[in-house]
Structure 1
Amino acid sequence: MFDRLNELPADKILALGAAFKADPRPEKIDLGVGVYKNPEGVTPIMRAVKAAEKRLWEEETTKAYVALAGDPAYADAMIALILGDAVTREHIAAIATPGGTGAVRQGFDLVKMANPDARVFVSDPTWPNHLSILKHMKMETIQYRYFDDETRGVDFGGMMEDLAQIRAGDIVLLHGCCHNPTGANLNMVEWKAVVEHLNAVGAIPMIDIAYQGFGDGLEQDAEATRFVAANCPEVLIAASCSKNFGIYRERTGLLMAVMQDASRNKITQGSLSYLNRQNYSFPPDHGAKLVTMVLTDEALRADWKKELEDTRLTMLELRQQLADELQRLTGSDRFGFIAQHRGMFSRLGTTPEMVEKLRADHAIYMVGDSRLNIAGLNQRTVPILAKAIVDCGI
């Protein structure tokens, strides 16, 4: 059997991280792997999470399984965080998942179960694992234009032209905020136009929201997702706690199925629980318990929100510093888009050859499509990156 297996392509982002570690140059800069790093280059454990973990260690009395769907208190806390009062609880089915990736995978599985002929429309570009998972599942995938390499903003006209192809029952995958990999987001006027079009056709939005709190703030980053949930007959939402709670290795995610017809909730919830059973049985609970404790304890929640806001502002300051330094070096504002993008990432809009030149000549590592992780920078390395960009003629 094993002799029939073929070598599969390595994940490009993970391979980039390995290449960075092997590079002996002391001045190297890692802007590839999408994890938040503080100015010291460390991905810290957030204060509130650490406090919750200490409390959990003292109070936890069992490691027995939780329910197939996960702890209901976790789902309730996350639904309140993401959706607020946009949709009442009886209109939402939910399951805990191993990270946001698990939520995305289970969402696609639910689509395939309900409508094997559904096509999935994804932005060009999107998080590479979206495409990898869909290919592995043999689901028909169609990309719609999203990023304009000239303006470094959203190509909304091209996006809507491409979404004119959607049919009833198709899925349109959207990023709730802080688009990965571009950092360019739809505004609310554009979101409303997308929703109007999807509803007119009978297509279903699926939102991947992995960076709430990293863009314009917790409430502002949820605005689009709440609008979609409140105004579409059916919505899938895949959420991750990796970034905004800093619990990457705990693999803590949630998949929500939102429906206007609450009579479908029981069957939908049963289908979601069934999928958990088939894929990994009971979801992990440690990270989910920490998130629940932080969100439901007034003091912990306040401290978490403060640290998350400090993180967000640090990234905005780095964006502005980089844009300002590039303007100083070039005498042009053509890199002003970096300050306008939101979240951990921006896409420079240059060629893979230029990205390779940055690596070879300056020990600066970023993904081949020119996505750079803003959180991989600090005040010392911003001028180094800016000079390298100019020296390479980007």
Structure 2
Amino acid sequence: MLSTLKPQPADKILELMALYRDDPRDTKIDLGVGIYKNADGETPVMRAIKAAEKQLWDVETTKKYTALSGDPAFGAAMKTLVLADSVDHARVGAIATPGGTGAIRQAFELAKLVNPDVTIWTSNPTWPNHVSIIKFMGLTNKSYAYFDEANCTVDFDAMMESLKEVKSGDVVLLHGCCHNPTGANLTLEQFDLVADLILEKGAMALVDIAYQGFGDGLEEDAAATRLLAAKLPEMLIASSCSKNFGIYRERTGCLMAISEKAEQTAVTQGTLNFLNRQNYSFPPDHGARLVTMILGDAALKADWMAELEEVRLGMLGLRTQLADELRRLTNSDRFDFIAKHRGMFSRIGATPEEVLKLREDYGIYMVGDSRLNIAGLNAETVPILAAAVAKICK
């Protein structure tokens, strides 16, 4: 039977990683893969994670299963981290998942269970894996306008016009902060208007918050999600710990489902547990336990927050440096948006042909839609990138 299988389309980012790896040039720059790197090009283990792992080594006495939802303490910690007091936690069901991707997949599974004819609305553009998973599951995907390619900003009027087509029972997927791949975010006032529209349509919001703490700050980055949670009777939230805790390979995520009334939470939670059981049974615990330990210990949490702030400010510094250098070289404000965007990514508006030329002529690797990872830069490589972009991107 396996002989009937057909080759699957290659993942463009993984394909780009292979090209970068095989490039012999010492001057090559990797701006493609979506992972945080420090100035030395490394993805270090955060101090608080190291400390928590040492503590866990001393106190852990068993590797037995926790629960289908994962350790309840992890769910409670994530509710506080993401939602704070914006909604009664008694209305919120939560499960641990294998990374933020696992949370997204389980959110789609839940949406399908609630409405087999559900349409998932995603921004244009969005993280490619959103669309890939939706299509693989056989669900209907529609896109809503989001990014103004000419000005590299959110086209909010076009977005709201697109969302007028949303139907009752549909799911609207929103990026909670640090939009991937554009770096361009809605304002809180715009999120409020989107919430009104979702309410009017009888749809459900699904917030993907994968970069909390990487944009304007830990609390600030959660503000939009909290606004939606306070306003909408029901909502899904897929949260990732990969980036802000630096535990990519531990695959630590959380799916939260907000019910309209606390009395409904038991059924919602039971359904979430059921979905975990069907897909992978008990979720991984190691990363989730480290996150729980850090968020529950004042000293560890303070150190984690301090290091996360260093990471955030470092990326903002690189954004400002790159925007300033491009302004100097082009004698224009064309690239000023880079300093205004937030998170790891920005789309710089280069054509696929220009992206290819940047790779071939300068060894600068970015995704074909011109998404670049700001965290792949350092103070020395910013001028190299700026000079290449100023020359190639006319």
Q: Which residue of 1 aligns with 2:175?
A: 175
Q: Which residue of 2 aligns with 1:123?
A: 123
The one-letter amino acid paired with 1:162 is S
Alpha-carbon distance in structure 1 between the residues aligned to 2:379 and 2:304: 24
Partner of 1:139: 139
Say whether the 8 Å CA contact 2:259–2:268 is kept in structure 1: no
Q: Which residue in 1 is equivalent to 2:187?
A: 187
Contact 2:65 2:282 in 1 (8 A): yes
Q: 1:393, CA displacement in angstroms? A: 2.8
Per the alignment, in what secondary structure is the counterpart of residue 130 of structure 1?
helix
Q: Does 1:107 align with 2:107?
A: yes
1:224-264 Cα shifts (integer Å, max 9, x gaps): 00010111111000000000000000000000001222221
Give, in angstroms, the shift of residue 349 of structure 1. 1.7
Structure 1 runs (4+) greater than 4 angstroms displaced: none
What corresponds to 1:379 in structure 2?
379
TM-score normalised by L of structure 2: 0.99
Query: Which whole-Å CA distance do the structure 2 matches of 1:22 and 1:96 have between them?
Result: 37
Distance across 1 between alignment mates of 2:189 and 2:227:
11
2:292 equivalent in structure 1: 292
Match of 2:346 in 1: 346
Q: How does 1:266-281 map to 2 (within 5 A)?
A: 266-281=266-281
Q: In structure 2, what residue type is equivalent to 1:146?
A: Y
Q: SS of 2:267's equivalent? A: helix
* Structure 2 counterpart of 1:164: 164
Question: Mind listing any 5+ residue stretches in structure 1 that lack a counterpart?
Answer: none
Deviations 1:191-230 (A, max 9, x none): 0110001101101000000000000000000000001011
Contact 2:13–2:367 (8 Å) recurs in 1: yes
Of all paired residues, the percent bearing the same amino acid is: 63
**Is contact 2:31-2:374 (8 Å) kept?**
yes
Q: Alignment RMSD, CA only? A: 0.6
Matched letter for residue 359 of structure 2: R
- For 1:13-24, what aligned pairs fall within 5 Å after superposition? 13-24=13-24
Corresponding position of 2:360: 360
* Distance across 2 between alignment mates of 1:275 and 1:330: 53
Distance in 1, Cα, partners of 2:336 & 2:390: 14
SS of corresponding position for 1:275:
helix
Gaps of at least 5 residues in structure 2 are none
* 1:310 alignment counterpart: 310
2:357, 2:155 → 1: CA distance? Answer: 27
**Structure 2 residue identity aligned to 1:350:** A
SS of alignment partner, residue 346 of structure 2: strand
Once the two structures are TM-superposed, the CA of residue 88 in structure 1 deviates from its matched residue by: 1.4
Counterpart Cα distance in 1 of 2:304 and 2:338: 27
Q: Match for 2:111: what amino acid?
A: V
Provide the residue aligned with 2:234 in structure 1: 234
- Tell me the TM-score normalised to structure 1 length: 0.99
Letter aligned with residue 361 of structure 2: D
Counterpart secondary structure, 2:160:
helix
Amino acid at match of 2:44: P
User: AA paired with 2:219?
Assistant: E
- Opposite residue 355 of structure 2, the aligned amino acid is V
DSSP 3-state at the match of 1:263: helix
Determine the C-alpha separation between the residues in 1 that align with 2:102 and 2:21. Answer: 27
Q: Shift of the alpha carbon at 1:70?
A: 0.3
**Equivalent runs, 1:242-257 vs 2, <5 Å:** 242-257=242-257
Q: In structure 2, how many angstroms separate the alpha carbons of the residues matched to 1:242 and 1:364? A: 25
In 2, the alpha carbon distance for the partners of 1:168 and 1:182 equals 28
DSSP 3-state at the match of 1:143:
strand
Q: How does 1:27-46 map to 2 (within 5 A)?
A: 27-46=27-46
Q: Distance in 1 between matches of 2:352 and 2:164?
A: 31
1:81 aligns with 2:81: yes
Matches of 2:118 and 2:211, distance apart in 1: 27
Distance in structure 2 (CA, Å) of the matches to 1:213 and 1:346 = 17
Q: CA deviation at 1:101?
A: 0.1
The CA distance in 2 between the partners of 1:180 and 1:270, in whole Å, is 31
Local SS of the residue matching 2:359 = helix
Instruction: For 1:84, give the aligned amino acid.
Output: A
Secondary structure of 1:65's match? coil
